[in-house]
Amino acid sequence: MKKPLRKAVLPVAGLGTRFLPATKAMAKEMLPVVDKPLIQYAIEEARAAGIDQFCMVTGRGKTALVEHFDVAFELEATLRQRNRVEALEQLKGSQVEPGSMVTVRQQVPLGLGHAIWCARAFIGDDPFAILLPDDLVLSETPCLKQLADAYRETGGNVVAVVEVPREHTNRYGILKTGHDDGRLVEVQGLVEKPAPADAPSNLSIIGRYVLMPEVIGHLAKMERGAGNEVQLTDGMARLIGHQPFHGLRYKGTRFDCGDKAGFLEAQIAFALARPDLADAVRGFLHKYV
């Protein structure tokens, strides 16, 4: 029987060096797209997939991420006193059920695989999702919900995938593909950041995963891979052949918010998707292009 998916791990220990000076004293996951921080998009997406237990893998200087999901008592009392109903409403998505969010620290930057391993006590024997908040997906059905549905269909591991230009394979985890029905792809191999000439396909993993807890045992070996880091991709590769493993071509558009151009594109796309802003944004955009 497939265990229900209720847990999500959010690795947020990165330094955000690509966004300095903005991230000098602020967690990069607190950068807003329109008016909501990246981390809140990730939590809301997880919730929409039925997840109700969250673990953020944090590091030094990341306390704002924890504060963000707390009750802001003074702020809320003041808003209530002033009858600011709309502002109060806007705070709702930033509150989680008491006791539903924990953090663990990744004290040393040894890679994404190591960050996930740091959450091993939280994961226990349960299937779990991973959301990388840098990857933002604009879609009708939230991307992780699509993955959770695919997990219920196939069992085992499911990762969100998209075709990328050949010359970009060295930026992503890349699939060696088996049976492919155009939506679900059987994963026969996984390689982290291969050079275009060595890439087994141009189907890349984006930052949304549903994984089985057995991956932790492989990550625990702390084998170093690409960039001399403990790679999640390598740990996942060890599961192939032992458990079902699929890639899902999700429906939606991914924005790489870890990159300045991708982040700016996300601002425009998300603003245009907002009824309260679309006209104004469309109105000024043509001035600049």
Supply the minimum distance, in Å, between the C-beta of residue 258 and ligand G1P: 6
* Residue from 126, 130, 138 nearest 55 by CA: 130
CA atoms within 13 A on the CB side of 149: 13
Shortest Å distance, C-beta 143 to ligand G1P: 12
239 binds ligand G1P (CB under 6 A): no
Q: How many CB atoms lie within 10 A of CB 43?
A: 23
112 part of the interface to ligand G1P, by CB under 6 A: yes
- Of the pair 93, 252, the CB lying nearest ligand G1P is at 252
Tokens of 182: 């155009």
**Separation CA 182–CA 120 (nearest Å):** 34
Nearest of 104, 105, 154 to residue 127 by alpha carbon? 154
Encode burial over 103-121: b for 16+ CB neighbours within 10 A, e otherwise.
Answer: bbebeeebbbbbbbbbbbe
DSSP letter (8 states) at residue 205:
E
Q: Considering only residues 59, 127, 207, 225, which one is a binding residue for ligand G1P as defined by CB under 6 A? A: 207
Query: Contacting ligand G1P (CB under 6 A), which of 192, 237, 246, 263?
Result: 192
Q: Which is nearer to ligand G1P, 49 or 79 (CB)?
A: 49
Task: Give the one residue of 204, 237, 240, 247 binding ligand G1P; rule: CB under 6 A.
Answer: 204
Q: Which is nearer to ligand G1P, 65 or 206 (CB)?
A: 206
The CA distance from 258 to 252, in Å, is: 18
Instruction: Tell which positions 20-39 bind ligand G1P, by CB under 6 A.
Output: none
- Which residue spans within 59-202 are E strands per DSSP? 101-105, 128-131, 135-138, 157-163, 173-180, 184-192
- Interface with ligand G1P, residue 206, by CB under 6 A: yes
The minimum distance between CB 25 and ligand G1P, in angstroms, equals 23
Closer of 79 and 185 to ligand G1P (Cβ): 185
Determine if 46 is a binding residue for ligand G1P (CB under 6 A): no
Give whichever of 33 and 206 is closer to ligand G1P, judged by the CB atom.
206
CB of 113 to ligand G1P, least distance (A): 8
Q: Single out the segment in contact with ligand G1P by CB under 6 A; choices: 22-30, 61-69, 136-144, 199-207.
A: 199-207
Residue with tokens 């959450």: 119
Residue nearest to ligand G1P (CB): 173
Q: Which tokens in the block code for residue 212?
A: 């089985």
Site string for ligand G1P, 137-176 (x = CB under 6 A): -----------------------------------xx---
Provide the pairing of β-strand 53-58 with 7-11.
parallel
Beta bridge partners of 185: 180, 247
Residues contacting 112, CB < 8 A, separation 6+: 11, 132, 229, 230, 231, 232
Residue 253, beta-bridge partner list: 138
Smallest separation, CB 187 to ligand G1P (Å): 13
Instruction: Work out whether 129 is an interface residue with ligand G1P (CB under 6 A).
Output: no
Q: Which residues of the shown chain bind ligand G1P in the complex (CB under 6 A)? A: 112, 132, 135, 172-173, 192, 204-207, 232-233
